[in-house]
Amino acid sequence: MTKKMWGGRFENETNIDAESFTSSIDTDKALYSFDILGSIAHVEMLSKQKIISSIEKNKIIKGLKKVKDEIDSEKFIFSHKLEDIHMNIEHSLAKKAGNAGKKVHTARSRNDQVATDMKLYIKHETSGLRDSVVNLQRNIIKKSEKNINVIIPFYTHLQRAQPILASHYLLAFFEMFLRDIERIDQTIDRMDQNPLGACAGSGTSFNIDRAYTSKKLGFKEATRNSIDSVSDRDYVIDTIYSCSLLMMHLSRFCEDLINWNSSEFNFIKIGDEFTTGSSIMPQKKNPDILELIRGKCSLVYGNLISIMTNLKGLPLSYNRDLQEDKAPLFSAIKTTSDCVQIFSKTFNSIEFNTKHIAEKMNVGFLTATDLADYLAKNNVPFREAHHMTGNIVAYCEKKKKTLDSLSLVELQKFSKIIQKDVFNYITIEKSVSSKTSFGGTSKANVKKMITKYKKILSK
C-alpha cells in the first residue's frame, strides 16, 4: 500500500476514482516555480529562526533546486496519487533530501502555501500582461500620429454623428487601456500581502518570522489575519475582473474594426497576414482574429462568473472548492494575454482607406450641430437654432444637397441671421478644428494629448 503523505490515520487506500477526481496536478503544476520559491523562503526563515538547522536548510534548498531542474527539463514525473503540485514537489524532495526534506512542511500548511503560490503567480503573470497592454498603447500612439489628418465620422446609435479625427477615436481606446493598467496595478497593490505562515488557518506555535518571508518573496507585508489568509480569494476575482474589462475594451475595439472593414463602411484594410479566407466564397477576406477576440471575451466573463459563484456561500475558512480557482484564473490571464498580443499585431497591419472615407464625409449632414451652434452664437436660443437646422436638413434631403453646398440665399430663407461667415463653421475640416474644448477632437488638442500620453508611457 502506497502511503499518502496524510495517510497516518487511514486504514484503507484511497479509491482510485476518488484519487483522480480530487487530483489537481494537471492544472496546478503551472504553479511549480512559485511553490519552490515559497519553500526556499520558508526554509531560510526556519533556519534563521533555528527551527531547522542550516545544514538541513541547505539540503532542502539543494533538493528543491533539483526538483525545479527536473520540472524545467520535463523529466519530472507528476503523479495523480500525490494530488497536487505541493505534494508532488514535497514527495520528490523527501526522496532527494531525506529527513531534512521531510521538515520542509514545518510551520506551514498547503492552505497558506497555495494562497502564497497563487499570489506570486498573479504578480508574475500580470506583469507580462501589463507589458503587452503598454505595447499596444505604443502602437495606438504610432497609428494616431501617422493618421493625424484623417477625419472620420463618429457614431451614436450607429448613425453618423459628427466629424472627428480618426486619431481621437483611437486614443479613446488608449484611455480605456490606461484604466485597465491602473486596475491591474491596484489589484497587485491590494493583494501585496504574504499569506505564508497563516498555516492551516490559526497560525503556529513555532517562532516563525513572517516579515522575513514576506520580504524574501517580494511582498509589502504579511497578511494580518490567519483565517482570512487561507480563505481569501478576492485577489483572484480582482485579477479576472481586470482581465474581463480589458477583454471588453478589446472586444468593443474589434467590433468597430470589424464594421469598418465591411464593404458597407469600407474605412479600413486589414493586412492579409491577419485575415483568413472562406472555404467556399473565393472573394472573402474575413477579420477572424478580431471576431475570435470578441468571442473569447465571453470565456473570460465565464471565468469571472465561475470564481464569483465558487466563493459565494463558502463557509470560512479553506474548503476544497477553492481548488477550482485555478482553472478560471489561469485561463483568464492566458486568454487575455494572447488576445492583447495578437490584437496588437493585427492593429498594426490596419490602414485607413482615406480616399473612400473622405468621399463619403458629405453623407449624413455631419456638421448640422455646427450650424445650430453658429446660430446660437448669433444669439438664437439653442432650442430654436436646433429646430431651424432641422428644417434646413430636411430641405437638403429633399433637394439632395449637402449642408455646405447650399447657397447663402438658400440658407437665408430659413434665417436672416445667417451670413456668409457660416461657411467657416459648416465644412468638415472647420467643424473638427473648432472642437477646442478640453478633451475635444481639434487637431491641436489631439496633438497635445499625444504628447501627454507619450510622457505617461515613458514613465
Other residues' Cβ atoms within 10 Å of the Cβ of residue 89: 26
Nearer Cβ to ligand ARG, position 118 or 406? 118
Query: Is the N-terminal amide bond of 317 cis, ω within 30° of 0?
Result: yes
Q: Is 117 in the site for ligand ARG (CB under 6 A)?
A: no
Among 261, 291, 436, residue whose Cα is nearest residue 357 = 261
Distance, CA of 133 to CA of 37 (rounded, Å): 27
Instruction: Record the cell numbers describing residue 376, joined without a space.
Output: 446660437
Does residue 84 touch ligand ARG according to CB under 6 A?
A: yes
Please say which residue, 126 or 310, places its beta carbon nearer to ligand ARG.
310
Residue of 54, 278, 405, 407 marked catalytic: 278
**Does the annotation count 231 as an active-site position?**
no
Q: Which of residues 292-321 bind ligand ARG (CB under 6 A)?
A: 318, 320
Task: Give the shortest CB-116-to-ligand ARG separation in angstroms.
Answer: 11
Q: Does 114 bind ligand ARG (CB under 6 A)?
A: yes
Neighbours of 114 (CB within 10 A): 25
Q: Is 405 one of the catalytic residues?
A: no
CB of 120 to ligand ARG, least distance (A): 14
Per-residue x/- track, 320-349, ligand ARG (CB under 6 A): x-xx--------------------------
Written as nine digits, the cell of 114 is 497555495
Q: Which is nearer to ligand ARG, 48 or 80 (CB)?
A: 80
Residues 150-189 that bind ligand ARG (CB under 6 A): none
Near ligand ARG in 27-66, by CB under 6 A: 28
- As measured in angstroms, the least distance from the Cβ of 332 to ligand ARG is 17
Q: How far is CA 8 from CA 92, 104, 111, in A?
A: 19, 18, 19
Residue 265 CA neighbour count, 13 Å, CB half:
20
Q: What are phi and psi of 114, to 5 degrees?
A: -70, -35
Number of residues that bind ligand ARG (CB under 6 A): 10
Alpha carbon 251 to its chain centroid, in Å, reads 11
Of residues 157, 263, 279, 437, which has the active-site annotation?
A: 157
From candidates 92, 111, 231, 431, binder to ligand ARG by CB under 6 A? 111
- Of positions 57, 59, 110, 296, contacts ligand ARG by CB under 6 A: 110
Mutual orientation of helices 85-101 and 32-48 as an angle, nearest 10°?
30
349 DSSP assignment:
T
CB atoms within 10 A of CB 400: 7
Cα distance between residue 140 and residue 413, in whole Å: 46
Q: Which residues make Cβ contacts (< 8 Å) with residue 284, sequence separation at least 6?
A: 277, 278
Considering beta carbons, is residue 145 or 234 the nearer one to ligand ARG?
A: 234
105 binds ligand ARG (CB under 6 A): no
For ligand ARG, the closer of residues 18 and 394 by Cβ is 18
- Annotated catalytic residues are 157, 278
Q: Which residues bind ligand ARG (CB under 6 A)?
A: 24, 28, 84, 110-111, 114, 318, 320, 322-323
